[in-house]
Amino acid sequence: MPETWWRGAAIYQVYPRSFADGNGDGIGDLAGLRSRLPYLADLGVNAVWLTPWYPSPMADGGYDVADYRDIEPTFGTLEEAEKFIAEAHELGIKVIIDVVPNHSSDRSAWFQEALAAGPGSAARQRFWFRDEPGDWKSIFGGPAWTQVPDGQWYLHLFAPEQPDFNWTNPEVHQEFHDVLRFWFDRGVDGIRIDSAAVLVKDFDGGDPDGYTDQPEVHDVYRGWRRLAEEYDDRIFIGEVWFPDQERFARYLRPDEMHTAFNFDFLACPWDAAALRHSIQETMATHIPLGAPPTWVLSNHDVARVVTRYGREDTSWDHGARRDGVPADLELGYRRSRAAALLAMALPGGVYIYQGEELGLPEVDDIPGELRQDPMWPRSGYTIPGRDGCRVPLPWSGGEPPFGFGTGEPWLPQPEAWNKLTAEAQAQDLGSMLTLYKTALAIRRDRLGDGTLTWLDSTPEVLAFTRESGLTCLVNLGSEPVRLPPHETVLLASGPLEGEELPTDTAVWLA
C-alpha cells in the first residue's frame, strides 16, 4: 500500500469484548481476535481500529483506562498485543488503537495517588479537584462532580469512575506524549482520539458547555502531530463532532489530526436531500484542507444501522437515542445494503463497525439486570444505552454462543442470529457479508481517496462518478429509476428490475 494508505482506507472497528473469545470465559480477547485475522483479511479491509484494550474496571466498556501502557488481563497480555500487531501487518492490515486523553479510570495509579495525597497536593493537580462542586452535568446523566471522603470534589464529564485530567498541567501533556511513543514504538499505525474536543475546560465563562472546543485544545494536537511526524506514516483520527463545520475543520488543519469521524453523515436520515447536503458539506470542509473525508454508518455508541434505517425517524441523535423504538428490519436491511455501497463509493476512508458486514440489528430486549452500559443506571434506568450494538458476534453454528467462544457470552445473543452467522453468510451470494466483501474488493482498485463528480439526477436519486469511471447511483425515491448508459453493472445492493433501479437500492456501474 502507498504511504498514504489511510487516505482511502476501509477501517474495520473491533470492539474487543464482543469480537471473538479465545479462552471460553464469554469475553472477547486477543486470542480470539488473532484467530479471526484471516476473516478480516478475507473481508478485504485495510486496517482495524480497536476500542480500548487497556487494563480497565470496565465501568465504561474500557473507556475507563487504568494503565495506558498495558493490556486488560481478560483480553490478554502486552506480548500478545505485540504478536497481534505483527500478524496483522503480515496480512497487510494496519492497526489503529484508541487513546483516551480526557479522563482515566478512578483506579489509575495517578488517581489513586491523588486520593491518597489529599487536598492541595501535586498529585491532585493532575485532575480537577475543588472544594466546591460546579454545576456541569455529566454526559452520561447526573452531576459531573463527585465528592471524595476528605470533602473535595472532582470533575468527571462521563461516569464518576472516569475522572477528567487537568490539561493545564504540563505533566499530563508529558504523560500522553510518552503513551503515544509507547505504542508507536510497538508498531501501532494510528491513534483514534477519544472525546477529542473536550480536554480543555473553561470553568469561569459561565458556559454549561465550557468544556467543548476550547481554543487551547488545538495546542494539544499540534504537539501530538509533531511527535507523530518523528515516525513514518502514523495517523490521528479524532472523535470530533460539531454542527459548525468551521470549528470542526480546525481539527483537520495540516499540523493537527489527519482525519476525523464523520458523525454528520452517521446522524443523517435516509433522505436524498439530507444525504446530498451532508456529502457536499463534508467535501467542502475537507478538500481545501487536503484531509480525506471519512464515511461512517455506525459504531459502538449508536444503534445498529439496520434498525435505525427501519425506523420512522431514520436520523441519529446522541441526545435522543430512540432505544427500543420499533423498526421494520426488512426495510432497514435493504436500506443498509444501499447505504453500504454509498459509503464505500464516496471519496476518502470508510469505517465498518464489527457486525455491520453481517447486517446485525440492534438487540433491544437485553434484560435490565444484564445491561452493562453506565448510561442505564446513570439515567435512572430510563435510557437502556449502548449494549444493544455491543452483543458478541455470531460466527457459526445454530445456537448461542454461535462460535463466539465456548462460554456464555457476556451479553446474550438472540436465537434468530443463527441465520446471520459469518459461516451462514459466507457461501450465500445474496448475503450482507458477500455484498461487503465484493464491494471492498472493487473498492480497492477503483474507489477510496479522491473526489467525485455529481451527475444530473432527479432529487430523490444520488448519482456521482469517481475518477476511475465508476458510477454510483442510490435511489431513495418511491419509484424505480432508469439506469444511465453503462457497460457493466459491477454490483447492486439488491435485484435490479431490468434497466431500472428499484427504491432503496444502490448500484455501481462502469
Site track 27-66 with Ca ion (rule: CB under 5 A), x = hit = x-x-------------------------------------
230 is catalytic: yes
Q: Which amino acid is at 464?
A: F
**H-helix or E-strand containing 84?**
helix 78-90
| Shortest CB 188 distance to Ca ion, Å | 22
Q: How far apart are CA 117 and CA 119, in angstroms?
A: 7
Residue 195 partner contact from ligand GLC, Ca ion, none using kind-dependent CB cut-offs of 5 to 8 Å: ligand GLC
DSSP secondary structure, 177-210, as one string? HHHHHHHHHTT--EEEETTTT-SS--STT--TTT
Q: Which amino acid is at 225?
A: R
Stretch that binds Ca ion, among 26-34, 182-190, 244-252, 361-369 (CB under 5 A): 26-34
By CB under 5 A, name the one of 17, 20, 21, 213 that touches Ca ion.
21
- The residue among 74 and 195 lying less far from Ca ion, judged by its C-beta, is 74
Q: Spot the catalytic one: 3, 132, 135, 230.
A: 230
- The residue among 25 and 423 lying less far from Ca ion, judged by its C-beta, is 25
Q: Measured between alpha carbons, how far is residue 285 from residues 24, 366, 457 in Å?
A: 46, 40, 24
Q: Which amino acid is at 308?
A: R
Asked whether 461 and 472 are in contact (CB, 8 A), the reply is no
| Shortest CB 71 distance to Ca ion, Å | 12
| Shortest CB 25 distance to Ca ion, Å | 4
| Shortest CB 411 distance to Ca ion, Å | 14
| Shortest CB 90 distance to Ca ion, Å | 23
Residue 258 partner contact from Ca ion, ligand GLC, none using kind-dependent CB cut-offs of 5 to 8 Å: none
Grid cell at residue 3: 504511504
Stretch that binds Ca ion, among 25-33, 99-107, 314-322, 334-342 (CB under 5 A): 25-33
What is the binding site for ligand GLC (CB under 6 A)?
60, 63, 100, 158, 194-195, 239, 300-301
| Shortest CB 17 distance to Ca ion, Å | 9
- The residue among 156 and 218 lying less far from ligand GLC, judged by its C-beta, is 156
Q: Determine if 71 is a binding residue for Ca ion (CB under 5 A).
A: no
Q: Which residues pair with 97 in a beta bridge?
A: 50, 191
Q: Spot the catalytic one: 194, 213, 256, 356.
A: 194
- The residue among 374 and 394 lying less far from ligand GLC, judged by its C-beta, is 374
| Shortest CB 127 distance to ligand GLC, Å | 15
- The residue among 304 and 337 lying less far from ligand GLC, judged by its C-beta, is 304
Asked whether 49 and 60 are in contact (CB, 8 A), the reply is no
Q: How far apart are CA 368 and CA 466, in angstroms?
A: 47
**H-helix or E-strand containing 428?**
none
The torsion of the CA quartet 52, 54, 55, 60, rounded to 10 degrees, works out to -10
317 is catalytic: no
Q: Does a cis peptide bond (omega within 30 degrees of 0) precede residue 38?
A: no
**H-helix or E-strand containing 452?**
strand 452-454
Taking each helix axis from N to C end, the angle separating 329-345 and 432-446, rounded to the nearest 10 degrees, works out to 10
Q: Determine if 23 is a binding residue for Ca ion (CB under 5 A).
A: yes
Residue closest to Ca ion, measured at CB:
29
Count of CB atoms situated within 10 Å of the CB of 90: 10
- The residue among 97 and 442 lying less far from ligand GLC, judged by its C-beta, is 97
Q: How far apart are CA 508 and CA 180, in angstroms?
A: 40
Q: Which residues pair with 296 in a beta bridge?
A: 351
Residue closest to ligand GLC, measured at CB:
63
Residue 256 partner contact from ligand GLC, Ca ion, none using kind-dependent CB cut-offs of 5 to 8 Å: none
- The residue among 34 and 308 lying less far from Ca ion, judged by its C-beta, is 34
DSSP secondary structure, 283-316, as one string? HHHHGGGTPPPEEES--TTS--HHHHTTSSS---
Residue 29 partner contact from ligand GLC, Ca ion, none using kind-dependent CB cut-offs of 5 to 8 Å: Ca ion
Query: Which residues carry out catalysis?
Result: 194, 230
Residues at the interface with Ca ion (CB under 5 A): 21, 23, 25, 27, 29
